[in-house]
Structure 1
Amino acid sequence: MRPNGQAIREIRRAKNIGLRMLQEMTGLNRGYLSRLERGHIHESDDEQVRKVAIALHVALQAITHEEKT
């Protein structure tokens, strides 16, 4: 799955959620989340991206480069 780091960051900031809070909400490492947002991770495990989408209360397509099917 190809995460859209810029979208993740924009949504997270719009919801006033810090990286530490997102870490707590997802169980994912803060460094990983930071790299994800900065676009350093081009392919990610589907489950990790789903955790971020669930924590941000958005559709998976809102934070990935995947086409809607």
Structure 2
Amino acid sequence: MRPNGRAIRAIREAQNLSLRALQQTTGLNRGYLSRMERGLIREAADDPVLKVADALTVPPEAITHEEMP
């Protein structure tokens, strides 16, 4: 999946959720989440992206550059 870092950050900030809180909710490394938000991770495995979408309570399409089937 191709994560949309700008969308992830915008949704996270709109929900007043810190990167640390997102880390705790997803179990993903905070550095990894930061790189994802900054667009440094162009392709990610489905699992981390789905964990972020679930933590933000949005569909995966809202935080990726792809449409889910």
Per the normalisation by structure 1, the TM-score is: 0.97
Render the CA deviation track for 1:22-64: whole Å, top value 9, x for unaligned. 0000000000000000000000010000000000000000000
Runs of 4+ in 1 over 4 A off after TM superposition: none
Unaligned runs of 5+ in 2: none
The AA in structure 2 aligned to 1:23 is: Q
Aligned length: 69
Percent sequence identity over matched residues?
Answer: 65
Partner of 1:36: 36
Query: Secondary structure at 1:13's aligned position in 2?
Result: helix
The equivalent of 1:25 in structure 2 is 25
Compute the RMSD of aligned alpha carbons.
0.7
- Letter of the structure 2 residue corresponding to residue 56 of structure 1: L
TM-score (norm 2): 0.97
Stretches of structure 1 that go unaligned for 5 or more consecutive residues are none
